[in-house]
């Protein structure tokens, strides 16, 4: 009677009930669920004939294409473990991850094969499969993906694999900063429960058309790679994040839902054609990855008509553990107040388990919206641990709780709001200053396109806030003007003491600000930079 929880089973359901429905759109290519199912089964057979067995690890370095989507099913339904790789990492980081993960095979996109070429001889791989891309070439020694599938035996004879829901399904590496990347072990069960949360709380239905703006390699596309299939929705692939193309796809493909970091929202609202774009489908957009400023959410809803949904999590939690549930009582508030509420991380999702904000001693903070503590969580979506890193696992999971490192407050209605990462909190003269709070004020300034606030050393106060700003094209705001503006909007001690104007800010492939890069440029003493 027992059936293991695995998101792989949702492909079986989709093929059964939606065989002729369009499952995947990738530029000019389209596949029905029947065709998608056949391609993933062919991939499984090809992998088996290449020697991949249950428990083996297969690394995949692909952008958001149908090939990437196929890998999440073709690899994992064998009981093998998929290792999604960030194709924007350095050659050294990729070498470390591939070897550390014990991957036997690599499936790689030809356009992004350069870093692999650099260290090919150092990789402990048995085989490389290459997705050919027109206009690109590679020196890698491997087999073409389509040929790999074509030469596979009859996929109708795909053997049944007994999957344990607690076995490893994906091994997702976090970005390294001052230390090597860590491999987060996520099981079939944790990925299933997270995708169920995605489906339920983002209101995914069979008529939905989902645009993959979020990299699928990032925490398995937050679970969207499985949740959309579960309902028979349509996946629309997006090889590169290009704001004008995204706005066009909203209309041409009738997009109803998407996900992305705040930086993607910022790109969309500031795209020149945005003000002339009237999106009829009013897509639901989930955002996470960094605390979004209320002003940014307001712009997304006002300019583009997006229905913003704030979610929160980490790779270590599959990733969702909080979402900002919208309640009818919020409808009566002003648009500014609504945006402020939507900027909060919110409350527990239905299937993930328990999340709370605690003091250093471990007891919960007051629900007053003021007392600062650390977010901790336990339950169905927390990782098994860091791969081959027992000491790091022990440091992160204490007494059954995963400690996130995010500092937050809890409001009287239970809604949690992040005030900062522990490493980003600015302590100036003994006063705590939230860098995200200062950023939220700066985003209200009409000349500010993007901003990051960090601490810099100060002889009198130990450290003080510094604002690093990208201005809108043609804007001419000065340091004095910015500081005066901030002092008019918040307590004076919180306002930046220094302002630097730059052309762009360092970001990860998923759009997260890399504040450690900025801190490294501004600190020479003993300041945390990881």
Kindly list the domain boundaries of the chain, sorted by start residue: 9-196, 241-356, 426-522
Architecture of domain 426-522: 2-Layer Sandwich (3.30)
Report field, pTM of the whole predicted structure over 0.75:
yes
Residue 135 Ramachandran class (φ > 0 left, ψ -120 to 50 alpha, else beta): left
- Name the residue among 191, 204, 206, 210 with its Cα closest to residue 24: 210
Provide the residue-wise pLDDT of the chain in tens; the chain has 530 residues. Answer: 789 999 999 999 999 999 999 999 999 999 999 999 999 999 999 999 999 999 999 999 999 999 999 999 999 999 999 999 999 888 998 999 999 999 999 999 999 999 999 999 999 999 999 999 999 999 999 999 999 999 998 877 787 899 999 999 999 998 654 468 899 999 999 999 999 999 999 999 999 999 999 999 999 999 999 999 999 999 999 999 999 999 999 999 999 999 998 889 999 999 998 888 778 889 999 998 777 788 899 999 999 999 999 999 999 999 999 999 999 999 999 998 999 999 999 999 999 999 999 999 999 999 999 999 999 999 999 999 999 999 999 999 999 999 999 999 999 999 999 988 877 889 887 777 888 889 999 999 999 999 999 999 888 788 899 999 999 999 999 999 999 999 999 888 899 999 999 999 998 766 778 888 898 888 754 443 33
The predicted pLDDT at position 476 comes to 93
Q: Is there a contact between 90 and 98 (Cβ–Cβ < 8 Å)?
A: no
**How many CA atoms lie within 13 Å of 28's alpha carbon, on the beta-carbon side?**
0
The predicted pLDDT at position 513 comes to 81
Q: b vs e for 21-38, b when ≥16 Cβ sit within 10 Å of the residue's Cβ? A: bbbbbbeeeebbbbbbbb
- Name the residue among 117, 82, 119 with its Cα closest to residue 103: 82
Residue 379: partners with Cβ closer than 8 Å, 6 or more residues away = 352, 353, 354, 355
Long-range contacts, 47-52 (Cβ 8 Å, 24+)? 47/74, 47/75, 47/78, 47/80, 47/105, 48/78, 48/159, 49/152, 49/153, 50/105, 50/127, 50/148, 51/104, 51/126, 51/127, 52/78, 52/80, 52/104, 52/105
- Name the residue among 98, 87, 40, 99 with its Cα closest to residue 61: 87
H/E segment holding residue 70: helix 66-74
d(CA 3, CA 192): 13
- Alpha-carbon 444 to chain mean position: 25
* Same fold for the pair 9-196 and 241-356: yes
The predicted pLDDT at position 177 comes to 47
User: Facing residues of 501 across strands?
Assistant: 469
Burial class of residue 207 in the structure, from the number of CB atoms within 10 Å of its CB (0-12 exposed, 13-18 middle, 19+ buried): exposed
d(CA 208, CA 41): 25
Using the structure block, give the residue that is written with the tokens 């200053």: 433
The predicted pLDDT at position 520 comes to 84
d(CA 202, CA 274): 24
Beta strands 462-471 and 498-501 are parallel
Residue 168: partners with Cβ closer than 8 Å, 6 or more residues away = 55, 81, 185, 186, 187, 384
Q: Classify residue 263 by its DSSP letter.
A: H
What is the three-class DSSP state of 274?
helix
DSSP state letters, 182-227: -EEEEEHHHHHHHHHHHHHHTT--TT-EEE--S-TTSGGGGGHHHH
User: Facing residues of 427 across strands?
Assistant: 432
Long-range contacts, 387-393 (Cβ 8 Å, 24+)? 387/100, 387/101, 387/171, 387/182, 387/183, 387/184, 387/185, 388/100, 388/183, 389/182, 389/183, 392/182
**How many CA atoms lie within 13 Å of 188's alpha carbon, on the beta-carbon side?**
23
What is the three-class DSSP state of 410?
strand
d(CA 153, CA 61): 25
Using the structure block, give the residue that is written with the tokens 């048995």: 126
d(CA 147, CA 224): 28
Q: Is it true that domain 9-196 has CATH number 3.40.50.12780?
A: yes
Q: Is there a contact between 318 and 383 (Cβ–Cβ < 8 Å)?
A: yes
What is the CATH number that goes with domain 241-356? Answer: 3.40.50.980
Q: Is there a contact between 261 and 221 (Cβ–Cβ < 8 Å)?
A: no
Q: Is there a contact between 53 and 100 (Cβ–Cβ < 8 Å)?
A: no
Backbone angles phi, psi at 103, to 5 degrees: -70, 135
């Amino acid at each position: 009677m027992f059936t293991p929880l695995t998101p792989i089973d949702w492909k079986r359901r989709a093929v059964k009930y939606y065989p002729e429905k369009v499952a995947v759109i990738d530029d000019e290519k389209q596949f029905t669920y029947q065709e998608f199912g056949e391609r993933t089964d062919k991939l499984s057979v090809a992998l088996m004939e290449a020697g991949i067995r249950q428990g083996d690890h297969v690394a995949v370095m692909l952008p958001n294409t149908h090939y990437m989507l196929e890998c999440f099913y073709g690899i994992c339904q064998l009981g093998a473990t998929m290792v999604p790789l960030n194709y924007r990492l350095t050659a050294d980081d990729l070498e470390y991850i591939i070897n550390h993960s014990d991957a036997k095979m690599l499936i790689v996109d030809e356009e992004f094969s350069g870093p692999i070429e650099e260290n090919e001889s150092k990789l402990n791989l048995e085989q490389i499969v290459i997705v050919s891309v027109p206009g690109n070439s590679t020196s890698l020694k491997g087999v073409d993906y389509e040929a790999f599938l074509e030469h596979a035996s009859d996929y109708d004879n795909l053997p049944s694999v007994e999957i344990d829901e607690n076995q490893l399904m994906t091994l997702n590496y976090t970005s390294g900063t001052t230390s090597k990347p860590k491999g987060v072990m996520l099981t079939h069960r944790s990925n299933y429960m997270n995708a169920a949360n995605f489906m339920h709380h983002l209101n995914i239905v069979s008529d939905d058309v989902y645009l993959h703006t979020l990299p699928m390699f990032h925490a398995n596309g937050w679970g969207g790679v499985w949740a959309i299939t579960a309902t028979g929705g349509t996946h629309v692939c997006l090889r590169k994040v290009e704001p004008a193309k995204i706005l066009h796809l909203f209309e041409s493909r009738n997009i109803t839902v998407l996900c992305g970091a705040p930086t993607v929202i910022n790109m969309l609202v500031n795209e020149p054609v945005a003000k002339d774009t009237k999106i009829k489908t009013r897509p639901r957009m989930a955002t996470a990855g960094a605390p979004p400023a209320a002003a940014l959410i307001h712009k997304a809803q006002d300019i583009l008509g997006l229905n913003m949904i704030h979610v929160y999590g980490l790779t270590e939690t599959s990733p969702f553990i909080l979402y900002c549930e919208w309640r009818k009582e919020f409808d009566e508030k002003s648009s500014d107040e609504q945006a402020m509420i939507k900027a909060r991380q919110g409350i527990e999702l239905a299937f993930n388990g328990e999340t709370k904000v605690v003091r250093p001693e471990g007891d919960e903070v007051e629900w007053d919206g003021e007392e600062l503590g650390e977010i901790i969580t336990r339950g169905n979506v927390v990782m098994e641990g860091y791969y081959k890193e027992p000491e790091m696992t022990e440091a992160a999971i204490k007494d059954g709780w995963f400690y996130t490192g995010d500092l937050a407050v809890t409001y009287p209605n239970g809604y949690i709001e992040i005030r900062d990462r522990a490493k980003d909190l600015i302590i100036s003269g003994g006063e705590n200053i939230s860098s995200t709070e200062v950023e939220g004020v700066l985003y209200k300034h009409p000349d500010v396109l993007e901003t990051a606030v960090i601490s810099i050393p100060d002889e009198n106060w130990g450290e003080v806030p510094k604002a690093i700003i990208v201005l809108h094209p043609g804007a001419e705001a000065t340091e004095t003007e910015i500081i005066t503006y901030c002092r008019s909007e918040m307590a004076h001690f919180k306002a930046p003491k220094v302002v630097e104007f730059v052309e762009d800010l360092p970001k990860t492939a998923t759009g997260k600000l890399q504040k450690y890069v900025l801190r490294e440029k501004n600190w020479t003493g003993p300041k945390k930079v990881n």
